[in-house]
Amino acid sequence: MAFKRSGVRLSLAPPSLRKIPVGRVLTRQTHRSEISLSGSSPTYGPSHVHHPVGRVLTRQIQPPDKSIRPTSRFVLRRYDGGFIFSFMDMRSVFLIALAAFCGACATTERSDRVRYSPELIDGRAVFGHVVAAAPAQSVLSVTPEMRDFITNDIGNSAFPHQRFRRLMQKLEGQDFFVSPYDRSATFSAAQTFASKRGNCVAYTNLFIALAREASLDARYQKVHVPPKWELSSGLVLRVNHINVHVAGVRLPGAGSDELSVDFNSVVPSEGAPTEIISDVYAESMFYANLSVDHLHEGDYEQAFAYLKRAVLTAQDNPDVWSNLGALYSILGHDAYAERAYRVARSIDGKDPAAMAGLAKALGNQGRMAEAEVFTAMVSRYQSANPYYHFAKAEQAFSVGAYDTALESINRAIKLKRRSPEFYALRAAAAQQLGNARLHAKSIRLQHRFSKEDS
């Protein structure tokens, strides 16, 4: 079921029951930098290739269109997804994984018993003194004003679906989604409520806090969606989605009592694997976002301080350890970077981000044989990943090498046959080559699979 009202898109979709380990990144590239952001389906023409990923290095959690407001992409979808963004600096295979919190799924249990040396998070190797962890924040705390917002007319209904609808309507009616998207506003729930602005992190925190105050079962959910490469700028785009999972709410005509709430411009496919993550795990991602904000400002010590807080909050989050390894790497401390990446691998041995980081860190230390082991692992993964071939096709298309683009995009389609963006690029390449039949066929398939994803 899908319906629209007041600029808010609501939809229900079948559940995804696939289960994969939290923290696993679906792709990574060894010697290229990585960035993640929300995006939309590309369009191609004789003189147009979609916006290069490399132009958004400093807008890690901003939708492509600056004019997008949270309401315009406020998506509710059963077992749907929100974003984790990450990027790697070209100088060092630099991974920063950030949670842009913008649902069944399985809840993955993790062990808190992660072995690491305390000196990895004291900061003395880089800054010459012990760096204090950034202050902990009450990310989901509720103020008296927030409590009144709920109790006055939302929390007095005995029916969860009514409380859910009233919450959405009141947030929109009181202009919580009027302000333009603010990428730098990584706020707690209380800060977002007071300012009526924020990014995906902020609005997701706000929604979860208010929903729980209204006695709704709202939790953070991680959605694993396909990665993307953008080769011409040396960047890799990874999209791992975080959103709000709400249980016990059965809307009229719905076949399930579970929903997801998104504050992003991209809706992943129905089949994307999902899992519930804990508040603590999500909070560590919140600190990782703040770390990246300081990194962009060139304040490495504060970036380190927030990563330290992230580690102390959820030491079993492999992304945080990869972030730490990346920070050490960009600051020229490859031995410490190696150690941080190895901690990440001890949590998730299949994480290509840690493998890529290790390849770079080991290579920088002159340990080429060891580095090659990890380089080969990531290379094998790339060759089997359709999005790597898609990126190669885009690169070739951008320089007018349409035959090469067509060859690469066909490899991508062979590996993943139902991706609309693949057919959009193939149609463009075929048009440039004068192949009207292939162009028309690709357009038809693009439209067909776009409808299936909507």
Residues 363 and 409 in one domain: no
Domain boundary among the residues 381, 400, 429 is at 381
Residue 336 above 90 pLDDT? Answer: yes
Amino acid at 452: E
Distance CA 37, CA 26 (A): 15
Residues 131 and 276 in one domain: yes
Residue 358 above 80 pLDDT? Answer: yes
Residue 364 above 90 pLDDT? Answer: yes
Residue 417 above 50 pLDDT? Answer: yes
In sequence order, which residues have a C-beta less than 8 Å from that of residue 98 and are 6 or more positions away?
60, 61, 84, 85, 86, 285, 288, 289, 291, 292
Of the segments 46-60, 203-217, 386-400, which one has the largest average pLDDT value?
A: 203-217
Residues 246 and 325 in one domain: yes
- In percent, the amount of the chain with pLDDT more than 70 equals 69
Residues 265 and 127 in one domain: yes
Query: Which of 92-96, 394-398, 450-454 has the weakest average pLDDT?
Result: 92-96
Q: What is the mean pLDDT of residues 217-224?
A: 88
Residues 176 and 282 in one domain: yes
Distance CA 330, CA 336 (A): 11
pLDDT classification of 208: cutoffs 50, 70, 90: very high
Residues 152 and 239 in one domain: yes
The pair of three-digit structure tokens given for residue 283, joined into one six-digit string: 């909070």
Number of domains in the chain: 2
Asked whether 84 and 222 are in contact (CB, 8 A), the reply is yes
Residues 84 and 110 in one domain: yes
In sequence order, which residues have a C-beta less than 8 Å from that of residue 150 and are 6 or more positions away?
167, 210, 213, 214
pLDDT digits over 390-407, tens only? 888 988 998 999 999 999
Distance CA 142, CA 209 (A): 7
Predicted local confidence at residue 225, as pLDDT? 66
The pair of three-digit structure tokens given for residue 122, joined into one six-digit string: 């004291």
**Edge-to-edge strands, sheet with 235-237:** 33-35, 235-237, 228-230
Question: Which pTM was predicted?
Answer: 0.70
Residue 391 is part of which domain span?
Answer: 386-453
Q: What is the mean pLDDT of residues 36-46?
A: 37
Q: How big is the chain, counted in residues?
A: 454
Work out the number of other CB atoms within 10 angstroms of the CB of residue 355. 26
- In percent, the amount of the chain with pLDDT more than 90 equals 47
Pairing of strands 106-107, 228-230: unpaired
Asked whether 263 and 205 are in contact (CB, 8 A), the reply is no
DSSP 151: H
The chain-wide mean pLDDT, for the chain, equals 74
Domain boundary among the residues 381, 402, 434 is at 381
Domain boundary among the residues 329, 353, 381 is at 381
The pair of three-digit structure tokens given for residue 426, joined into one six-digit string: 């193939």
Query: Which of 180-189, 275-284, 419-428 has the weakest average pLDDT?
Result: 180-189
Residues 312 and 267 in one domain: yes
Residues 333 and 432 in one domain: no
Asked whether 200 and 102 are in contact (CB, 8 A), the reply is yes
pLDDT digits over 3-24, tens only? 333 333 343 433 332 232 222 2
Residues 348 and 390 in one domain: no
CATH of the domain at 446: 1.25.40.10
Residues 359 and 409 in one domain: no
pLDDT digits over 144-176, tens only? 999 999 998 898 888 999 999 999 999 999 999
Residues 177 and 297 in one domain: yes
Work out the number of other CB atoms within 10 angstroms of the CB of residue 58. 13
Predicted local confidence at residue 378, as pLDDT? 85
Predicted local confidence at residue 227, as pLDDT? 56
Work out the number of other CB atoms within 10 angstroms of the CB of residue 180. 12
> In angstroms, how far apart are the furthest CA atoms of the chain?
66
Distance CA 321, CA 212 (A): 30
